[in-house]
Structure 1
Amino acid sequence: MAENISTASSQIADVQSSADTRQIAINKVGIKDIRHPVRIKDRSEGEQHTIANFNMYVDLPHNFKGTHMSRFVEILNSHDYEITVESFKDMLTEMAERLEAESGHIEMNFPFFINKTAPISKVQSLLDYDVTLIGEIHSGKPEIDIKVVVPVTSLCPCSKKISERGAHNQRSHVTIQARTAGFIWIEEIIEIVEQEASCELFGLLKRPDEKHVTERAYDNPKFVEDMVRDVAVRMNNETRISAYVVESENFESIHNHSAYALIERDKLKDPVS
């Protein structure tokens, strides 16, 4: 039976591998928005189960008609659900080798949950964060970035200074995309942002907690510029981070627009602090 299947397969035309005469290479070709269960390393629990959304691409030389789309899914299924930064790097290398590509790109986006403790009541609740692993490989050399979107509170220093009662505040999204030079927990990146914000967020707060976080934000006002600069200082001092982009978007409560700031640095190209 196996011999018959092998014989039948050898007689089926491989259209993707046929020649193309248009002389136009393709930068990225592959599969997009495929969901797959994964296990992610968790500092407190060891690991957590979640669902990730994958985009997987390779380049295609001008002389090939198409790529073998089924191989992307085969690679994804061969990793038995457990994905770490290291196994993600291995998957990137395997993809380039199996599809005979000079370059490849994988994005893996997933919700990451942290069990947070309220500051006064100590009640616990889960808060979710948007995390993406981004992999690029060129000529056999893989590079991995971790991207985390951290929701926080920001309170306006100007509003506090000029107002007799209160100050306007808003929820902000601080996004860090970091290239690592050593192992770092996702939770550590999140903590850096939360510690530099006017105040961190919680899934559940009792009244004493609400009083605490309101006063914490009031005592710690931050412009969007302050937010990215303070996080950048922490990134500069973190030896396990070799390059980063930090963005902050404040969803203004007194305007119909957002305030935005970005800092980007590659420590290897710009070693001066």
Structure 2
Amino acid sequence: MMRQTTQGRSSNSSIKDVQNSCDERGIAIQKVGVSDVHLPFLIKTKSGSFQSVLAKIKLTVDLPQEFKGTHMSRFIEILSDWSQKPVSYREIGNMLTDTIVRLHAKRAHIDIHFKYFVEKEAPVSGLKSMLDYDCTFSASLARGEQLDFVLGIIVPFTSLCPCSKEISQYGAHNQRGIMRVKIKQVHGKFIWIEDLAKMLEERGSCQVYPLLKREDEKYVTEKAYENPKFVEDVLRDLVLMLRKLDGIQWFEVECENYESIHNHSAYATHIENVDK
């Protein structure tokens, strides 16, 4: 057994490392790594606990022009190690630092897409249920620089058409919409997904709830009717709210209403650098 082990080590040490060989084409690569990696991940929650999610991940580094390739297996090793630790803003920075060190890179990037669940309480009955939000952690880090972190979230909402309400003798058409929001935060600042989702969904005509009894359905129907909004109204209200949010450098907002009386959607978008 000892002889076999020794021979095995000798054989491994003699395997040629093609990735580290020289490339003479003179082309540096900005991002190289792994994409569409699906792993269970632990996301820190506002309550101090964590939520287990299924994450879809892209992890990359820069590759200098003189190197032929990177070590793809190391990316999976890094992600496997970090999938066992609850992560948020600070841990994402540590993960990228780990990536830079282990891949001998100058810069690393990561995108983590996942569904995050938040408990919601029905407005009248008080019944509790879980609503899912599509979320993204996108970050990049260069040696000696601060973490560049963007939080993305997709929030559903209800909107009711002001024009329909104005011209109709009774009723008004409404639709379910979604807000796609990305925010880049000042270094050291972080907003919890739970808090951001709550602030965003309050800008629609009414919130969306997974579980409603009849008294709740009456409430949300009348709430939307009393608060009619075009897709443009929802977007502008979101912009005003995000401008006031502490620690935001940049944001991007998209609103899309899945129309109930048309076979198309109503759409609006806005991107802004916040100068504070």
TM-score w.r.t. length of structure 1: 0.92
Range moving further from structure 2, 144-153 or 26-35: 26-35
Match status 1:215 vs 2:222 = yes
**2:79 aligned with 1:72, yes or no?**
no
Q: Quick one: which amino acid aligns to residue 266 of structure 1?
A: N
Show the counterpart of 1:143.
148
Amino acid in structure 2 at the alignment position of 1:252: E
- 1:104 is aligned with what amino acid? A
- Aligned residue type for 2:85: Y
Q: CA–CA distance in 1 between the matches of 2:251 and 2:178? A: 16
Specify which of 216, 230, 242 is matched with residue 237 of structure 2: 230
The 10-residue stretch of structure 1 (193-202 or 41-50) with the greater mean CA deviation from structure 2: 41-50
CA, structure 1 residues 12+90, in 2 after alignment: closer, same or farther (shift >3 Å)? same
Contact 1:93 1:140 in 2 (8 A): no
- 1:151-197 deviation per Cα after TM superposition (whole angstroms, max 9, x unaligned): 11111111111111211111111011112231311111101111111
Contact 2:50 / 2:86 at 8 angstroms: preserved in 1?
no
8 A contact 2:177–2:255 mirrored in 1? yes
State whether residues 31 and 57 of structure 1, in contact with CA within 8 Å, keep that contact through their aligned partners in structure 2.
Answer: yes
- 8 Å contact 1:38–1:52 — kept in the other structure? yes
Is this contact kept in 2: 1:121–1:209, CA < 8 A?
A: yes
Q: Is the 1:150–1:190 contact (alpha carbons within 8 Å) kept by the matching residues of 2?
A: yes
Pairing of 1:126-137 with structure 2 (within 5 A): 126-137=130-141
- Residues 52-67 of structure 1: pairs in structure 2 closer than 5 A: 52-67=55-70
Match of 2:89 in 1: 85
Identity %: 45
Aligned alpha-carbon RMSD (Å): 1.8
Corresponding residue of 1:159: 164
- 2:47 matches 1:40: no
Match of 1:120 among 100, 118, 124: 124
* Structure 1 residue ranges (4+ consecutive) displaced by more than 6 angstroms after TM superposition: none
Task: Pick closer, same or farther for the CA change 1:263–1:48 going to 2, 3 Å.
Answer: same
Q: Aligned letter for 1:205?
A: L
Runs of 5+ unmatched residues, structure 1: none
2:190 counterpart residue number: 183
How many residue pairs end up in the alignment? 269
Q: Secondary structure at the match of 1:78?
A: helix
Gaps of 5+ in 2: none
Report the counterpart of residue 111 of structure 2 in structure 1.
107
Residues 74-126 of structure 1 show CA distances to partners (whole Å, capped at 9, x for unaligned) of: 11122223211110111112212322223322001111001111111111111
Query: Is the deviation greater in 184-193 or in 131-140?
Result: 131-140
**Equivalent-residue separation in structure 2 for 1:42 and 1:64 (angstroms):** 40
CA contact (8 A) 1:53 1:109 kept: yes
TM-score of the aligned structures, taking structure 2 as reference length: 0.91
